Structure 1
Amino acid sequence: MATSLGLTACSSDDGTDADIVTTNGGEPQNPLVPTNTNENMGGRVVDRLYAGLKYYDANGEAHDELAQSIETTDRKNYKITIKPDWKFSDGSAVTAKSFVDAWNFGALGSNAQLQSYVFAPIVGFDEVQAKDAKAQTMSGLKVVDDRTFTVALKQPSIDFETELGFTPFYPLPDAAFKDMKAFGENPIGNGPYKFAKNGAWQHNVQIDLVPNPEYKGGRAPKNKGLRFVMYQSYDTAYADLQAGNLDTLDVIPESAMTSYKQDLGDRAISKPIAYKVNIGIQSNVPHFAGEEGVLRRKAISMAINREQICENIFHGARIPSRDFTASTLPGFNGNLPGSEFLKFNPQEAKKLWAQADAISPWSGKYEIAYNTDGGHQGWIEATANSIKNTLGIEAIGAPYPTFKTIRDAINAKTIGKAFRGGWQGDYPTMLQFLTSQYYSFSETNNVSYNSPEFDALLNAALAAPTLEESYKIVAQAQALLFKDMAEIPVLDYNAAAGRSDKVKKAELAWNGFFDFEHIEK
């Protein structure tokens, strides 16, 4: 899930309830519709508002939530039965149709949902994605009765059952389809929390959630509610954490990296998580198309001194990337063919840059866009300096004021320069990182990478009969990403976080989010 931090902090008009957990957040890019939420400021809220067929615990293990049974004999044809008597927070029933309608809405090409790619394995997806689609629903989804539906996939999938707790697979109530944008401003979910009354979403300020009394799953809140407070900087958020005005903070600012463990004592939190940072560039930027672009991306990657950045700026809270996924995931291999392009090698970087110049002499400057509300300035400037000093070109950071601003430009393919991107795991498999970011048809493929050979390898990895065989094919797919240097992996996260002295329990989950439901004041 693409990531960053939001905007400005402010107290609410009704004061602060001592039992409500205040945590850092940010302005979501879009209205809170599950199939159109692919960044973590919206995602952290949406995942509290909805319940899916499955949910993931703090260790990334999947558990049944609404699913009473998920039956298959071939991992291709599924019969799904949901538990009885589930309701949305408005009192309407959650039925099999609630899932099927939501998935069909997300898959329909004319709805342009950012998470539509997740439905690609379902029979009929291609027909509803087409611009001139006559079909409005996927033929592979069938409602059997109020509690049962079937799913037909194009081929067996080793990930399908695991991913059913992922955001775009949530159900939606009938009320959503009357006006989806308006619904996203004041969503009605079936999860452990619901919107508080009276303007729960104060744009650019905060979002207030309270426990949902209709919820009957395995994530029942152990607190009286959540307030996602939006900050302009992590430094301000950290000061509030120390002062007891913020209960939890999931990213310690660069300025406090050397002191936060001493400042917070046993309230400091560190943990390896499935979260990585990349530098991408779209092929419509001059000098970055075709073979020239491949050479330049490889040269830039080898011009970045990742070890020095991790040591000098993050003091161990980041580690150099070794692949296109995350080092904490099952099956990770840090020595793939092509991973040498992620090692600092000034001589080879200059050689590759010269080969690109032979195709078309370099002109202009290399800019790396980043959002200033996300605490990225230090490492972006260090990265730009490393590139500048190695390749002898002008390389600089290009600040954007907010995460929403930069994401809108990236999605519209108008950013016109390199950009910082992050991916925070949505479910704990390597294929989740790869399908979301590099499938040719994925709406979250920010660099427009298009390789039929790569798509076929991902399909084969999904269809593999065992995890071991799937991992081998994933390795082949990543070797191809290195060959093409689809984008530049830079850093993996060791999370640095903290809780205030008003909180007795707050744990980070496998992907770096707090285990929000289990935060205790």
Structure 2
Amino acid sequence: MRGTTRTVAVAAMSAVALLAAGCGSGDSDDTETTAAGQTGGEITVRGCNPENPLVPSNTTETCGGTVIDAVFAKLVHYEPETAAPKNDIAESIETTDNQTFTVKLKKGYKFHDGTEVKAKNFVDTWNYAAFGPNAQASGYFMEPIEGFADLQCAGTANPDDPCEGFTPPAKEMSGLKIVDDHTFTITTTEKVSNLPVRLGYSAFAPLPDAFFADPVAFGDKPIGSGPFKLDSWTKEQNMVLSKFADYSGEFGAKLDKITYKIYQDADSAYNDVIANNLDVTDEIPASALIDDKYKSDLPDRNAQKEEGVIQTVTFAPVKVDPNYADPKIRQAISMAIDRETIIKQIFNGTRVPATGWVSPVVDGYKADQCGEYCVYDAAKAKALLDEAGGFKGDKITLAYNADAAHKEWTEATCNSIKQALGVECVATGVVDFATLRSEIGDRKMKGMFRTGWQMDYPSIENFLTPIYKTGASSNDGDYSNPTFDKLLVDAAAATDPAQANQTYQEAEALLAADMPAVPLWYGKATVGWSDRVTGVKITAFGTIDYSSLALK
């Protein structure tokens, strides 16, 4: 989901195979507390400003995504520790050819407004997400469904608004059919062997009839079908969730209430946890990582785990900033970044230098896909920049959101680039995550900017298709390579897991030649909590598992 952000998966695996796959190479030390805790009560956790109103199909970032995952149930639920998929609203998802899927729903599953979740809710929601004029950021995830193309906008004179003066020929995808109240079918244009695995992503969450009556108002007070419902959202301050009394799923929670307190920086949240004024923070500031200071600050109140997350730096689209158009310039910048030193000095070893664009926790990961371009070499970097004719702009810029712990590492990254290339590099803070994402999405952000990816669903494909395929929802740099796109299609259709992995790896290798984004490091989630709570678990996605959280 999520541009920042699940282990053991491969695109061609079936959901059954994934259930048996087990955990990846994540660090299993200190990933949870041991006491079961009591039932009921309320806690506070660190929150941040969502980019958009809370509509699942229009949320592709973690600030909003974390709340949406608590509020909205999906067909499939991912097990916290392994990310293995397990049916949730779905009674079953069956296929004989990986192209036509029959979905049967559990009866009696309720939305927070008391209405029942039915097949119509899924079909209507997915059609709404896919319909071009609705401009849903995650609408792209519906692309495999037959008839998706007929809902898209094209052919206008305004490249920034392809829907201007244009009405798509259809409003409903031909590949979705309602069989009865609790059954519908999905037909895809091509074979998609991992479709059941994808259906646990929030973009596929069903919406109640109330959404379609007023989509704008709905985003501020969403009605989901998950274990928690949103009671209030005070912008810039907090979001309050309470347990949904009529929740009938298998993945409920112990707590009665969760309040997300919105912070403008990681240090403030961290200090509040130390003082027991905040119960959980999912981010430890760089200052507390040095020499493992957080372990002494929060003895027996911290945990760390490898996660399906990668940190990257993306270049603005060429039409926005042509100074970075030459791949050699982008490759030179990548070679000029001393990842190991930054990780040691800023993160105290709590990151792993990236050698490609896919997280190591995913089955099918191949090391060194980036090759020499992800290895620090100041001399080669400078020579490559000179070969490209030098940098034509006044200075290299790297934007980051200032409401989280990014200042130190972005400044260190810029210093490394400046020293190696002899070009001024400036790290610039943007007030908060929502503002940064808005400027990137509106194609107003020049230079380089901080990006990251927390996997949406457990598949190697998820680290490639949504970010780098032409026109993809999280393709912030507007990267486009027809050969890359074709390899993704071929891999998705493969029925042999090994062949699918190999084809995805071939696609990933092309990114080294084009360098649309610079891989920096793979993530380890580090969290801290107050002495009031227990049962803290870090999921394979690097998030907090709210179902296990409890008061002591």
TM normalised by structure 2 equals 0.89
Which residue of the other structure, out of 14, 17, 31, is the alignment partner of 2:53? 31
- Matched with 2:128 is 105
Is 2:323–2:392's contact at 8 Å kept on the other side of the alignment? no
Please say if 1:305 is aligned against 2:338.
yes
What is the root-mean-square deviation in Å for CA atoms of aligned residues? 1.5
TM-aligned CA deviation for residue 513 of structure 1: 0.4
Partner of residue 47, structure 1: 69
Q: By how many angstroms is 1:286 displaced? A: 4.1
What CA deviation, in whole Å up to 9, does each residue of 1:377-430 have, x standing for no partner? 000000000000000001010111111111101001111121001111111211
Q: CA deviation at 1:4?
A: 5.6
Deviation readout 1:307-353 (Å, 9 max, x if unpaired) = 000000000111111111212111111122x4321110112111110
**Contact 1:316 / 1:494 at 8 angstroms: preserved in 2?**
no
Aligned equivalent of 1:154, options 179, 189, 192: 189
User: Which of 359, 362, 385 is the matching residue for 1:353?
Assistant: 385
- 3-state DSSP class of the match of 2:429? strand
**In the aligned structure 2, how far is the partner of 1:116 from the partner of 1:125?**
10
Equivalent residues of 2:321, 2:447 under 8 A apart: no
1:325 aligns with 2:348: no
Larger relative contact order (C-alpha < 8 A, sep ≥ 6)? 2
Is the 8 Å Cα contact of residues 2 and 421 (structure 1) preserved in structure 2? no
Give SS of 2:312's match. strand
TM-superposed deviation, 1:92? 0.9
Q: Is the 8 A contact 2:2 2:65 kept in 1?
A: no
Q: Judging changes above 3 Å, is the alpha-carbon distance between structure 1 residues 72 and 233 closer, same or farther for their aligned structure 2 residues?
A: same
Q: Distance in 1 between matches of 2:240 and 2:350?
A: 30
Residue 255 (1) aligns with residue 287 (2): yes
Change (3 A) 1:506 1:401: same
Contact 2:40 2:254 in 1 (8 A): no
1:276: how far off?
1.2
Counterpart code for 1:55:
H
Aligned mate of 1:223, from 233, 248, 255 = 255
| Partner amino acid, structure 2, of 1:377 | K
Deviation at 1:468, TM superposition (A): 1.2
CA distance in 1 between partners of 2:460 and 2:170 (Å): 32
1:413–1:228 distance in 2 versus 1, CA, 3 Å: same
Answer yes or no: is 1:180 the counterpart of 2:212. no
Partner residue of 1:459? 489
What's 1:264 paired with? 298
Decide whether the 8 Å contact of 1:54 with 1:164 is kept in 2. yes
Instruction: Give the CA deviation at 1:289.
Output: 5.7
* Residues 4, 453 of structure 2: 8 Å contact kept: no
Runs of 4+ in 1 over 3 A off after TM superposition: 1-5, 285-290
Rounded Cα–Cα distance in structure 2 between residues aligned with 1:327 and 1:279: 18
- Aligned position for 1:170: 205
Counterpart pick for 1:479 among 506, 509, 513: 509
What TM-score comes out, normalization by structure 1 length?
0.94
CA distance in 2, matches of 1:29, 1:179: 20
Name the structure 1 match of 2:170: 135
Q: Which runs of 5+ in 1 are unaligned?
A: 6-16
Shift of 1:90: 0.6
Task: State the secondary structure of the residue aligned to 2:96.
Answer: coil
Task: Give the Cα–Cα distance (whole angstroms) in 2 for the partners of residues 433 and 114 of structure 1.
Answer: 17
Matched residues in 2 for 1:416 and 1:375: separation? 22
CA contact (8 A) 2:229 2:241 kept: yes
Q: Which residue of 1 aligns with 2:268?
A: 236
Task: Name the CA distance, whole Å, in 1 between partners of 2:277 and 2:3.
Answer: 24
Q: Distance in 2 between matches of 1:261 and 1:498?
A: 9
2:12 maps to which residue? none
The answer as to whether partners of 2:270 and 2:281 remain within 8 angstroms in 1 is: yes
Superimposed CA distance per residue, residues 247-273 of structure 1 (whole angstroms, 9 cap, x where no aligned partner) = 111111011113011221222101111
Instruction: Give 1:410's match in structure 2, choosing from 424, 431, 440.
Output: 440
| 1:98-145 Cα deviation digits (max 9, x unpaired) | 000000000011111111111111100111012431200111001111
Counterpart CA distance in 1 for 2:550 and 2:71 is: 19
Question: Which residue in 2 is equivalent to 1:71?
Answer: 94
Change (3 A) 1:82 1:104: same
Residue deviations 1:44-69 (CA, integer Å, cap 9, x gap): 01111111111111121111001111
Given the alignment, which residue of 367, 374, 378 partners 1:334?
A: 367
In the alignment, residue 496 of structure 1 is paired with which amino acid? T
**Contact 1:4/1:403 (<8 A) preserved:** no
Residue 144 (structure 2) aligns with: 121
Q: 1-side partners of 2:319 and 2:394: how far apart?
A: 15
Unaligned runs of 5+ in 2: 6-38, 154-162
- Tell me if the contact between 1:24 and 1:237 (Cα under 8 Å) persists in the aligned partners: yes
Is the 2:315–2:324 Cα contact (8 Å) retained in structure 1?
Answer: no
Q: Distance in 2 between matches of 1:38 and 1:323?
A: 22
Tell whether the 8 Å contact from 1:321 to 1:490 is kept in structure 2 after alignment: yes
* CA distance in 1 between partners of 2:49 and 2:399 (Å): 19
The answer to which of 29-38 and 342-351 deviates more is 342-351
Does the residue aligned with 2:44 lie in a helix, a strand or coil? strand
Which of 17-26 and 119-128 deviates more?
17-26
Instruction: Tell me how far apart the structure 2 counterparts of residues 398 and 158 of structure 1 sit (CA, whole Å).
Output: 42
Q: Out of 518, 521, 525, which is 1:495 matched to?
A: 525
| Residue in structure 2 matched with residue 22 of structure 1 by the alignment | 44
How many residues align structurally? 502
1:505 Cα deviation after fit: 1.2
Distance 1:64 1:350 in 2: 52
Equivalent of residue 202 in structure 1, options 234, 239, 242: 234
Give the whole-Å Cα distance in 2 for the aligned partners of 1:18 and 1:170.
26
